[in-house]
Amino acid sequence: MSYSDLRIFQMTTMLVADIVNATRTFTDSEGCTVAAQLRSTSESIPGFIRQILECENVKDGSPHLDGALNALAETGYFLEMAVSQECLDSDDASQLIHRIEASKSSLISFIQSVKRFTED
């Protein structure tokens, strides 16, 4: 089994693809400065998840878990900025933010499962 087979990895990879698609409509005007930040932050999430799974034990993966959770939070923040700058429709942003929250919950559940499995 590879990290790419895991639901959390697939969820975040799809989230990134949807964010990239949503930001393609952003104009290059000064008012829409968040597109690059939004893409960059979201694109780091699957990488953090891959790094968690490559660690020898759960404790070693803790910094990568923090990185993934922080990147998810920052992605939500940049989505909200995109709405306030009128670069992104609030309904589109709401759907993406909902998926970010679902990804956070799934990531936390995944890590708890791994901890239980490795502690037994």
What is the CATH classification number for the domain harbouring 35? 1.20.1440.60
Q: How many domains does the chain have?
A: 1
State how far the Cα of 101 lies from the Cα of 29, in Å rounded to an integer: 29
> Mean pLDDT, the chain, as a whole number?
84
Which domain, by its residues, includes 21?
A: 3-119
Confidence of residue 118 (pLDDT cuts 50, 70, 90): low
* Closest C-alpha to 73, from 48, 45, 114, 112: 45
Confidence of residue 47 (pLDDT cuts 50, 70, 90): very high
Angle at 40 between CA 21 and CA 53, to 5 degrees: 105
Q: Quick one: pLDDT at residue 74?
A: 94
**Stated pTM of the model:** 0.83
pLDDT above 70: residue 31: no
Q: Quick one: pLDDT at residue 76?
A: 92
Q: What value does the mean pLDDT take over residues 51-79?
A: 85
Q: What value does the mean pLDDT take over residues 59-85?
A: 88
State how far the Cα of 55 lies from the Cα of 63, in Å rounded to an integer: 11
Cβ-in-10-Å burial (0-12, 13-18, 19+) of 95 comes to middle
Helix residue spans in 6-89 (DSSP H): 7-23, 35-54, 58-84
